[in-house]
A and B are shown apart, each in its own frame.
With several copies, the nearest count.
Chain A
């Protein structure tokens, strides 16, 4: 079966020939790397480039100094926006932390802090680090010692957040990017919570060597997660509405180029023609609908561009907009990290030539994608879009082999109830399950352990199942009544002698 799927696929990797060997220096940040900045629980995806000004949590700085350091290193912002590596934070001394038993003696009169705003500004101007400012604030608070330990911790945390600018550079991953998107731009990923994405990857049995169909409008996050789990082995056909697939989040993963060799895209608008045998690669969506393609394509990206001038309303990713003030359709087709070269070349004529070349390539890839789909032997289907799931599921399941899992995400429960019903009527699917997950984080501290006070109210719903041979679609199928039961109850025939397996 592996052989069948590999045939005629230039980029369709097999288990052996596509393995990306981990490099020795993989844990060090290099120029051009896609990284994620972390401050407290806030993330921001960014590409490392020298002399590029990055704004994060109302602070700006340059990333030059992170190059060559290990992933996981923490930096402090010092004067001129330079990052200085920092050892682990020292704990506030236990002497300072002598705690009151309760708050009966605290009267809030707004006069408990002896340092004025001017004093604090003076400290800052003298170049005193945030950490020291916090320490001074504690020492100059008349009520700190009377606060309970809990209140003290809260105070410290609040002040630290205000005066310390500590940033950790971490490697992008599904874990980090899905948490980042859910926290900061959930609308772009259809409010899919990270644990819901985790369920999809497991329920979909995503693994190396699969041939997957992915239909998502989650900024490319779901696609990236599937690619991460496949590690460059196997192939993926991304179905897309409009002019081209959106892969802003996919880019943030910083996958090696080779991962994109076996990533195909196919327009949703040609699904029915493929299913009824009238497919033609002649009219590519990007040719026929050129005027709308940019917007459709890069809705997310343009969005980013529009908000980027406002310095305070920062975006969670600073990758694409900084490199391409004018986003081109072709960029979306294969977003390998080659922006820098383009920037250097950067004039309009080169762009047009390259655009035509890429369009040729796109046409070729679409024919390949169509061929892959036409084999109707995909190893799974993932749907996570803003569209009604029922028509997507009913048509895309036609391309999936039998005995394969599929997972459909929707922000709402009701459309999946309908989808469940329609899939039952269609037949060829078993083990249908409609579910959601409930997720709660905990604070675990000595004598102060409890669930976090706020939690997500909902992370979306999943409908999952397994494909099987669908006899209903054949003319010689049984009666509908029988099919409805998912399996027959036939106890009429005589029992044959038999022998159980050990």
Chain B
């Protein structure tokens, strides 16, 4: 497997997702002779995983079973070790579309953080594009590089451990798109402009606070960016279940009483509590002039 190419069978060194049900899952690195403990019992990698097709049902030692899934950037986002706040798929989706990413795109990103967005970008720009990602925290930069290697996507990504506000992205006039998720994005707009291709490109800045957005928009205008738009996207998820409303006893039928339907039905109910905010997304185009 690699994060940018499906394969049929599980093999040594793969990162597989063990799915326990009801959204509960975790990643494992497949290794001859290794074992993984789950609540349903042990998974023996050599016997249960290697050589099996992805999507298989694996019966664990206690008789319970799990599914083994091919990794995708979206599953990784749900399972990765959090080294920072991460971006989730709802924001990632709109970022990818609004930055017009596709195979062949050259993208600059800062910070790398936990690599949630990085994996999604690499997936989209491969096999002909590239991601230049900048992370100022050394430990995090190293960990991200390791993960990219493990996920077999390292040829499409260059990790740099530097401060983007001071030192920029380390590349000049090559990028189709720049993404910023840093505390002071307005300090990096100049570097972003420099990283973008001469003939233009797209920029996105993610900020949780409106004051950051205000300063970033001002900096974007000062640097001649156009089509500056800010938006917010929220996921609204529905639980599908059977609802049961009792019919009230009004003391016997009244004539004419309308015929009442069955008070049991399938419904999609919104979750009681949901994510109310992740961040504001500001998009802009590099102007030609």
Chain A residues with a Cβ under 8 A of chain B: 1-2, 4, 15, 19-20, 22, 27, 70-73, 87-88, 101-104, 107, 148, 173-175, 178, 186, 191, 194-195, 197-199, 201-203, 205, 207-210, 228-233, 241, 268-273, 275-276, 377, 379, 385-388, 390-392, 394-395, 401-405, 410-418, 420-422, 425-426, 430-442, 444, 446-458, 466-469, 471, 485-496, 498-501
Contact = CB atoms under 8 A, between A and B. Distances in A.
Interface of B: 4-9, 19-23, 28-29, 31, 34-37, 40-42, 53-57, 61-70, 72-74, 89-90, 92-94, 96-98, 100, 102-104, 120, 123-124, 126-128, 136-137, 139, 183, 197, 199-200, 208-211, 213-214, 217-218, 224, 226, 228-240, 243, 245-255, 257-258, 260-261, 263, 265-280, 282, 285, 287-289
Contacts of B237: 433-435, 457
Contact of A401 (B55, B124, B277): B55
Contact of A195 (B54, B62, B93, B277): B93
Given A275-B254, A456-B274, A442 B246 contact: no
A291 B214 CA distance: 59
Given A207-B124, A208-B127, A417-B240, A435 B235 contact: yes
28 contacts: A1-B8, A72-B288, A101-B183, A178-B97, A186-B272, A195-B94, A202-B120, A269-B249, A273-B251, A275-B254, A388-B245, A388-B263, A391-B247, A402-B56, A412-B269, A440-B277, A442-B231, A444-B217, A448-B209, A453-B276, A453-B278, A456-B272, A457-B270, A468-B55, A468-B67, A491-B64, A501-B31, A501-B34
B36 A501 contact: yes
B234 A72 contact: no
B127 A229 contact: no
Q: In the complex, which of the residues B89, B103, B231, B269 has the most CB atoms of chain A within 10 Å of its own CB atom?
A: B103
Contacts of B253: 272
Contact of B35 (A191, A195, A498): A498
A198 B96 contact: yes
Contacts of A271: 250-251
Contacts of B277: 440, 450-453, 455
A208 B103 contact: yes
A442 B273 contact: no
Given A395-B254, A430-B19, A498 B100 contact: no
Given A175-B100, A454-B275, A444 B61 contact: no
A203 B89 contact: yes
Nearest to B200: A72
B102 A228 contact: yes
Given A203-B89, A422-B258, A450-B209, A269 B230 contact: no
A439 B231 contact: yes
B52 to A, nearest CB: 10
Contact of A27 (B89, B199, B234): B199
Nearest to B31: A501
Nearest to A500: B37
Contacts, number: 382
B55 A449 contact: no
Given A402-B55, A453-B277, A458-B269, A439 B100 contact: no
A367 B26 CA distance: 41
B238 A72 contact: no
A175 B247 contact: no
A174 to B, nearest CB: 6
Nearest to A182: B272
A216 to B, nearest CB: 12
B104 A231 contact: yes
A88 B250 contact: no
Nearest to A494: B62
